[in-house]
Amino acid sequence: ANHPQIDDSKLVVMGHSEGAILVPWVLRQANQVLEQQQKQPIKGCIFLSGIGEDIYTAMALQRERVLEEVQDEPGLQGWVLRKAVTKQKLDKQYNDLMEKIFDDPKTKDMDAIPMYCGMVKLNAKWFRTHKEYKAQEDLVHVTCDCLAITGQKDIQVRASLCEQSETFLKKAKSVEHHEPENLTHLLRSTTDKNPKLIHLKQDYPKMGKQPLDSELMRWIEDWCQRKII
Protein backbone atom coordinates (compact mmCIF):
# COMPACT_ATOMS: atom_id res chain seq x y z
CA ALA A 1 0.00 0.00 0.00
CA ASN A 2 3.02 2.31 0.40
CA HIS A 3 4.08 1.87 -3.23
CA PRO A 4 3.90 5.24 -5.07
CA GLN A 5 1.86 3.74 -7.93
CA ILE A 6 -0.77 2.20 -5.63
CA ASP A 7 -3.83 4.14 -4.49
CA ASP A 8 -4.22 2.86 -0.92
CA SER A 9 -7.84 4.03 -0.86
CA LYS A 10 -8.76 1.46 -3.52
CA LEU A 11 -7.20 -1.77 -2.29
CA VAL A 12 -8.75 -5.16 -3.07
CA VAL A 13 -7.85 -8.58 -1.66
CA MET A 14 -8.44 -11.69 -3.76
CA GLY A 15 -8.21 -15.36 -2.90
CA HIS A 16 -8.40 -18.48 -5.07
CA SER A 17 -9.22 -22.00 -3.81
CA GLU A 18 -7.56 -22.25 -0.37
CA GLY A 19 -6.98 -18.53 -0.70
CA ALA A 20 -10.74 -18.02 -0.91
CA ILE A 21 -11.02 -19.74 2.48
CA LEU A 22 -8.33 -17.56 4.05
CA VAL A 23 -9.11 -14.23 2.36
CA PRO A 24 -11.49 -13.06 5.16
CA TRP A 25 -8.66 -13.57 7.66
CA VAL A 26 -6.24 -11.65 5.40
CA LEU A 27 -8.85 -8.91 5.08
CA ARG A 28 -9.25 -8.64 8.84
CA GLN A 29 -5.48 -8.52 9.44
CA ALA A 30 -4.94 -5.96 6.68
CA ASN A 31 -7.69 -3.69 7.98
CA GLN A 32 -6.16 -3.75 11.45
CA VAL A 33 -2.85 -2.57 10.02
CA LEU A 34 -4.53 0.10 7.89
CA GLU A 35 -6.49 1.35 10.91
CA GLN A 36 -3.26 1.70 12.89
CA GLN A 37 -1.84 3.71 9.99
CA GLN A 38 -5.01 5.83 9.91
CA LYS A 39 -5.76 4.75 6.36
CA GLN A 40 -8.98 3.65 4.69
CA PRO A 41 -9.96 -0.02 5.01
CA ILE A 42 -9.80 -2.53 2.15
CA LYS A 43 -12.39 -1.53 -0.43
CA GLY A 44 -13.18 -4.87 -2.04
CA CYS A 45 -12.84 -8.61 -1.70
CA ILE A 46 -12.86 -11.29 -4.44
CA PHE A 47 -13.51 -15.00 -3.85
CA LEU A 48 -12.48 -17.33 -6.68
CA SER A 49 -13.24 -21.07 -6.74
CA GLY A 50 -14.84 -21.36 -3.36
CA ILE A 51 -16.61 -19.53 -0.56
CA GLY A 52 -18.07 -20.61 2.77
CA GLU A 53 -16.37 -24.00 2.74
CA ASP A 54 -13.50 -25.23 4.90
CA ILE A 55 -10.76 -27.64 3.87
CA TYR A 56 -12.21 -30.59 5.76
CA THR A 57 -15.67 -30.23 4.24
CA ALA A 58 -14.12 -29.92 0.79
CA MET A 59 -12.03 -33.07 1.33
CA ALA A 60 -15.10 -35.03 2.48
CA LEU A 61 -17.06 -33.96 -0.59
CA GLN A 62 -14.15 -34.86 -2.85
CA ARG A 63 -13.97 -38.37 -1.35
CA GLU A 64 -17.68 -38.81 -2.03
CA ARG A 65 -17.26 -37.57 -5.58
CA VAL A 66 -14.36 -39.93 -6.25
CA LEU A 67 -16.47 -42.89 -5.12
CA GLU A 68 -19.32 -41.83 -7.41
CA GLU A 69 -16.93 -41.40 -10.34
CA VAL A 70 -15.36 -44.82 -9.75
CA GLN A 71 -18.79 -46.45 -9.80
CA ASP A 72 -19.59 -44.77 -13.12
CA GLU A 73 -16.23 -45.38 -14.80
CA PRO A 74 -16.71 -47.80 -17.73
CA GLY A 75 -14.60 -50.64 -19.02
CA LEU A 76 -11.58 -52.39 -17.57
CA GLN A 77 -10.29 -49.23 -15.92
CA GLY A 78 -13.59 -48.86 -14.05
CA TRP A 79 -13.45 -52.50 -12.91
CA VAL A 80 -9.89 -52.05 -11.60
CA LEU A 81 -10.75 -48.79 -9.85
CA ARG A 82 -13.78 -50.32 -8.14
CA LYS A 83 -11.52 -53.03 -6.73
CA ALA A 84 -8.87 -50.56 -5.58
CA VAL A 85 -10.95 -47.57 -4.47
CA THR A 86 -13.68 -48.34 -1.95
CA LYS A 87 -15.40 -46.29 0.74
CA GLN A 88 -13.83 -48.48 3.43
CA LYS A 89 -10.33 -47.91 2.06
CA LEU A 90 -10.78 -44.17 1.61
CA ASP A 91 -12.27 -43.78 5.09
CA LYS A 92 -9.45 -45.82 6.65
CA GLN A 93 -6.82 -43.83 4.79
CA TYR A 94 -8.36 -40.56 5.98
CA ASN A 95 -8.86 -41.72 9.58
CA ASP A 96 -5.30 -43.05 9.80
CA LEU A 97 -4.03 -39.72 8.51
CA MET A 98 -6.06 -37.74 11.07
CA GLU A 99 -4.84 -40.00 13.86
CA LYS A 100 -1.23 -39.31 12.92
CA ILE A 101 -1.87 -35.57 12.82
CA PHE A 102 -3.97 -35.15 15.96
CA ASP A 103 -3.77 -38.21 18.24
CA ASP A 104 -0.64 -40.32 17.77
CA PRO A 105 1.76 -39.49 20.67
CA LYS A 106 4.72 -39.95 18.33
CA THR A 107 3.56 -37.49 15.69
CA LYS A 108 0.81 -35.24 17.05
CA ASP A 109 3.28 -32.46 17.96
CA MET A 110 5.34 -32.65 14.76
CA ASP A 111 4.93 -29.87 12.20
CA ALA A 112 6.02 -32.23 9.39
CA ILE A 113 5.35 -35.96 9.64
CA PRO A 114 7.57 -38.40 7.66
CA MET A 115 5.52 -40.65 5.40
CA TYR A 116 6.36 -43.59 3.12
CA CYS A 117 9.62 -44.50 4.90
CA GLY A 118 10.61 -40.84 5.16
CA MET A 119 10.43 -40.19 1.42
CA VAL A 120 7.61 -37.66 1.86
CA LYS A 121 6.89 -35.17 4.63
CA LEU A 122 3.27 -34.38 5.44
CA ASN A 123 2.59 -30.77 6.45
CA ALA A 124 0.69 -31.60 9.64
CA LYS A 125 0.78 -28.01 10.86
CA TRP A 126 -1.23 -26.99 7.78
CA PHE A 127 -3.98 -29.47 8.66
CA ARG A 128 -4.06 -28.38 12.32
CA THR A 129 -4.20 -24.70 11.42
CA HIS A 130 -7.12 -25.25 9.07
CA LYS A 131 -8.91 -27.28 11.75
CA GLU A 132 -8.74 -24.30 14.12
CA TYR A 133 -9.75 -21.68 11.56
CA LYS A 134 -13.49 -21.06 11.25
CA ALA A 135 -13.87 -19.35 7.88
CA GLN A 136 -17.60 -18.69 8.13
CA GLU A 137 -17.10 -16.76 11.37
CA ASP A 138 -14.77 -14.33 9.57
CA LEU A 139 -17.08 -14.06 6.55
CA VAL A 140 -19.79 -12.59 8.76
CA HIS A 141 -17.54 -9.61 9.56
CA VAL A 142 -16.68 -8.69 5.96
CA THR A 143 -18.16 -5.25 5.27
CA CYS A 144 -16.69 -4.23 1.89
CA ASP A 145 -17.96 -4.85 -1.65
CA CYS A 146 -17.56 -8.54 -2.57
CA LEU A 147 -17.38 -10.58 -5.75
CA ALA A 148 -17.60 -14.40 -5.74
CA ILE A 149 -17.04 -16.60 -8.79
CA THR A 150 -17.09 -20.41 -8.84
CA GLY A 151 -17.51 -22.38 -12.05
CA GLN A 152 -20.08 -25.10 -12.55
CA LYS A 153 -17.30 -27.35 -13.92
CA ASP A 154 -15.30 -26.91 -10.71
CA ILE A 155 -14.89 -30.45 -9.34
CA GLN A 156 -13.13 -29.45 -6.10
CA VAL A 157 -15.68 -27.10 -4.53
CA ARG A 158 -19.41 -26.48 -4.83
CA ALA A 159 -20.73 -23.79 -7.17
CA SER A 160 -24.01 -24.03 -5.26
CA LEU A 161 -22.33 -22.33 -2.28
CA CYS A 162 -21.32 -19.42 -4.51
CA GLU A 163 -25.03 -18.91 -5.21
CA GLN A 164 -25.49 -18.49 -1.44
CA SER A 165 -22.79 -15.81 -1.09
CA GLU A 166 -25.20 -13.29 0.42
CA THR A 167 -25.94 -15.78 3.21
CA PHE A 168 -22.28 -15.89 4.24
CA LEU A 169 -21.53 -12.20 3.65
CA LYS A 170 -24.37 -10.74 5.69
CA LYS A 171 -22.64 -7.45 6.49
CA ALA A 172 -20.97 -6.86 3.11
CA LYS A 173 -21.65 -3.54 1.42
CA SER A 174 -22.65 -5.45 -1.72
CA VAL A 175 -22.38 -9.05 -2.94
CA GLU A 176 -22.15 -10.13 -6.57
CA HIS A 177 -21.73 -13.76 -7.61
CA HIS A 178 -21.35 -15.70 -10.85
CA GLU A 179 -21.30 -19.44 -11.61
CA PRO A 180 -19.97 -19.74 -15.20
CA GLU A 181 -21.13 -22.89 -16.96
CA ASN A 182 -17.73 -24.09 -18.21
CA LEU A 183 -15.31 -22.60 -15.67
CA THR A 184 -13.04 -25.07 -13.82
CA HIS A 185 -11.13 -24.88 -10.54
CA LEU A 186 -8.05 -23.71 -12.46
CA LEU A 187 -10.02 -20.69 -13.73
CA ARG A 188 -9.87 -22.03 -17.27
CA SER A 189 -12.86 -23.07 -19.32
CA THR A 190 -13.40 -26.63 -20.49
CA THR A 191 -15.45 -28.32 -23.20
CA ASP A 192 -15.55 -31.53 -21.15
CA LYS A 193 -19.18 -32.16 -20.28
CA ASN A 194 -18.29 -34.26 -17.23
CA PRO A 195 -14.84 -33.49 -15.75
CA LYS A 196 -13.72 -35.98 -13.11
CA LEU A 197 -11.48 -35.93 -10.05
CA ILE A 198 -10.05 -39.30 -11.00
CA HIS A 199 -8.74 -37.74 -14.23
CA LEU A 200 -7.45 -34.61 -12.51
CA LYS A 201 -3.73 -35.43 -12.73
CA GLN A 202 -3.88 -35.81 -16.49
CA ASP A 203 -6.36 -32.97 -17.14
CA TYR A 204 -4.88 -30.18 -15.01
CA PRO A 205 -1.37 -30.00 -16.56
CA LYS A 206 -2.94 -29.55 -20.01
CA MET A 207 -5.45 -27.02 -18.71
CA GLY A 208 -2.75 -25.03 -16.92
CA LYS A 209 -1.18 -24.18 -20.26
CA GLN A 210 -4.33 -22.39 -21.39
CA PRO A 211 -4.95 -18.68 -20.68
CA LEU A 212 -7.29 -17.65 -17.88
CA ASP A 213 -10.95 -17.69 -18.89
CA SER A 214 -11.77 -14.49 -20.77
CA GLU A 215 -15.29 -14.26 -19.34
CA LEU A 216 -13.87 -14.49 -15.82
CA MET A 217 -11.44 -11.65 -16.56
CA ARG A 218 -14.24 -9.49 -17.96
CA TRP A 219 -16.38 -10.00 -14.85
CA ILE A 220 -13.50 -9.04 -12.56
CA GLU A 221 -12.61 -5.99 -14.65
CA ASP A 222 -16.22 -4.86 -14.86
CA TRP A 223 -16.72 -5.28 -11.11
CA CYS A 224 -13.56 -3.33 -10.34
CA GLN A 225 -14.64 -0.51 -12.63
CA ARG A 226 -18.06 -0.28 -10.95
CA LYS A 227 -17.13 -0.89 -7.32
CA ILE A 228 -13.49 0.08 -6.85
CA ILE A 229 -12.27 2.57 -9.43
Q: What is the 3-state secondary structure (H, E, C) of the chain?
A: CCCCCCCCCCCEEEEECHHHHHHHHHHHHHHHHHHHCCCCCCCEEEEECCCCCCHHHHHHHHHHHHHHHHHHCCHHHHHHHHHHCCHHHHHHHHHHHHHHHHCCCCCCCCCEEEECCCCEEEEHHHHHHHHHCCHHHHHCCCCCEEEEECCCCCCCCCHHHHCCHHHHCCCCCEEEEECCCCECCCCCECCCCCCCHHHHHHHHHHHCCCCCCHHHHHHHHHHHHHHCC
Over residues 42-52, the mean pLDDT reads 96
CA distances for 49 relative to 13, 15, 98, angstroms? 15, 9, 25
Nearest alpha-carbon partner for 183 in 225, 212, 204, 143: 212
Region of poorest pLDDT, from 43-52, 193-202, 210-219: 193-202
For the chain, give the mean pLDDT.
94
pLDDT band at 1 (very low <50, low <70, confident <90, very high): low
pLDDT at 211 over 90: yes
Please answer whether residues 135 and 168 qualify as being in contact, where contact means their C-beta atoms are separated by less than 8 angstroms.
no
pLDDT at 157 over 90: yes
Q: What's the pLDDT at 63?
A: 94
Over residues 224-229, the mean pLDDT reads 95
Could you report the per-residue pLDDT of 158-185, keeping only the tens digit for each? 999 999 999 999 999 999 999 999 999 9
Could you report the per-residue pLDDT of 50-108, keeping only the tens digit for each? 999 999 999 999 999 999 999 999 999 899 999 999 999 999 999 999 999 999 999 99
Q: What's the pLDDT at 127?
A: 96
Q: What's the pLDDT at 59?
A: 93
- pTM listed for this prediction: 0.92
Question: Where does residue 50 fall: left (phi above 0), alpha (psi -120 to 50 degrees), or beta otherwise?
Answer: left
pLDDT band at 210 (very low <50, low <70, confident <90, very high): very high
* CA 21 to chain CA centroid, nearest Å: 6
pLDDT at 17 over 90: yes
Q: What's the pLDDT at 119?
A: 87
Exposure b/e, 88-101, CB count within 10 A at least 16 = b: eebeeeeeebeebb
